Amino acid sequence: MPAMVMTPLDKRGEADLEATEAVVERFIDAGVDGISPLGNTGEERKRFAEEVVRIVNGRVPLVVGVAAGTKEMLELARHAESAGADAVPVVVPFYWKVGEEALFRHFAAVAESIDIPVVIYNLQMLTGIDLSPSLVGRIAAECPNVSGLKDTVTEYFHTVGALREAKRLRPDFSVLSGWEDLILPSLLAGADGSICALAKVAPKLFVELVHSAQSGDLAKAAELHRRVLSLITFGVYSNPPISAIKLAINKLGVLIFPAVRGPALLVPEEAHEKVEGVLREAGLLTVRDVG
């Protein structure tokens, strides 16, 4: 499930709905199991959510991001539901670092306010708060409307712990990897798939990786995993990597302009060839494609 965490923008910095439609169609053509627009770095909110719902038109599930403090998140979650989202990912509150009881009530409040499923979004690198496996298990046990976890962690054993805690109580509770390098190991440990950012660069590559692992073709999964690992270097070519990712998608033939809004920066001109090099290393681009 590609995390469509940025809004395609035109040269004026406005939302580019034509490019958005091209991105969505590319995802669907690749056979994704869903799309997750508006993560923590989406440049638009309510209007963009409505437009993506319109473009997708029920063809795949939409998990629409609603990152904010509890009060604003409740408003955004209700709006996402009314717009036609199939689920919402819920991250911990920003700024204040609160304990597990407050975190439980935060997730429970959102889950109780809407009828569509909630996905817990654990992103310690940006929020400064790690959701313990025991808290994930408690949420799974006491909040039936919370259907899964997107675990964007660097510690593989955190995902393993979350799998043990949550699936022991609810076998149908989905655990999804957020970091690309942990997709294959997480699947082998019993995870259900992934919502990740780089899948929007090469959706078919990630679909094939997940399907290969799930079907038991581990030789193919390992080869695809190595190609995925080469994509991770995009992060060094723009700050944050949003512009580099947009540039990569553009290099692959999608008419999306690599514009971003501040404080994000554009990919420096001298790094464009390096982005192309990453795509070639991942087997996504040949010299002929850019010649």
- Within 13 A of 192's CA, how many CA atoms are on the CB side? 18
Catalytically annotated residue among 95, 121, 237, 251? 121
Q: Is 38 exposed, middle or buried (0-12, 13-18, 19+ CB in 10 A)?
A: buried
Greatest Cα-to-Cα distance within the chain, rounded to the nearest angstrom: 57
DSSP state letter for 151: E
Query: Which stretches within 68-128 are classed as H helix?
Result: 70-83, 100-113, 124-127
Cα distances (angstroms) measured from residue 281 to each of 86, 117, 164, 174 = 36, 38, 36, 32
237 classed as catalytic: no
150 classed as catalytic: yes
Q: Which residues contact 94 (CB under 8 A, 6 or more apart)?
A: 67, 68, 69, 127
Catalytically annotated residue among 11, 150, 156, 237? 150
CA distance 279 to 250: 11
CA distance 151 to 272: 31
DSSP state letter for 194: E
Bridge-based pairing state of the strands 3-4 and 36-37: parallel
> What are the DSSP calls for 20-46, one per residue?
HHHHHHHHHHTT-S-BEE--TT-S--H
- How many CB atoms are closer than 10 A to CB 163? 21
Q: Which residues contact 166 (CB under 8 A, 6 or more apart)?
A: 133, 136, 137, 140, 149, 173, 175
Query: What residues act catalytically?
Result: 121, 150
